Structure 1
Amino acid sequence: MNIDWAALASVFGVSLVITVALVGLFTLGITGLARQASSTATQGGGSGVLARGGAYACFALCAAAVAYGIYLIVA
């Protein structure tokens, strides 16, 4: 049995980077929703709509990345 260590390290590195990026995007989405709630309670204006839109965009990117990963596994 011969293990290709370079390929294993490459898969590990890409997996680590993608995982950190997805967690970061999801965190930005949650932060955007929290800011939307706080800005709506204090100001009630356009900044809440912008924060909510950004949060939804982050969640959509997370969902797209997960769907692409599932596509890669199935295909």
Structure 2
Amino acid sequence: MHIDWAALGQVFGVSLVATVGLVGIFTLGIVAGSPRTAGTAPSALARTGAYACYALCLAAVAYGIFLIAG
């Protein structure tokens, strides 16, 4: 049995970067959509940025499902 360690390392590296990036984008969405102080709503620009972050996360998850199912 032969294990291609270079390919395994590449898969690990890409998975790590993608996971950290996706969690970071989702976190930015949460921070952008949260109120700055008690009782105040986020601005329209901040809400739009939060929705854009969520849309990027949704697109990445959908693309991953597409790769697995396809």
TM-score by length of 1: 0.85
Check if 1:74 corresponds to 2:51: no
Q: Unaligned regions of 5+ residues in structure 2, if any?
A: none
Moved more, 47-56 or 59-68: 47-56
Check if 1:63 corresponds to 2:58: yes
Check if 1:54 corresponds to 2:49: yes
Check if 1:17 corresponds to 2:22: no
1: CA distance between counterparts of 2:69 and 2:3? 24
Check if 1:2 corresponds to 2:12: no
2: CA distance between counterparts of 1:72 and 1:11? 15
Aligned residues: CA RMSD = 1.7
Q: Which structure carries more helix by proportion?
A: 1
Q: Unaligned regions of 5+ residues in structure 1, if any?
A: none
- The one-letter code matched in structure 2 to 1:7 is A
Structure 1 stretches of at least 4 aligned residues deviating more than 2 Å after TM superposition: 37-40
- The one-letter code matched in structure 2 to 1:19 is T
Aligned residues: 69
Residue 38 of structure 1, CA deviation: 3.0
> Could you list the per-position Cα deviations for residues 13-61 of structure 1 after superposition, in whole angstroms to 9, with x for gaps in the alignment?
0000000000000000000011xx33782xx7xx700000000000000
Partner of 1:33: 33
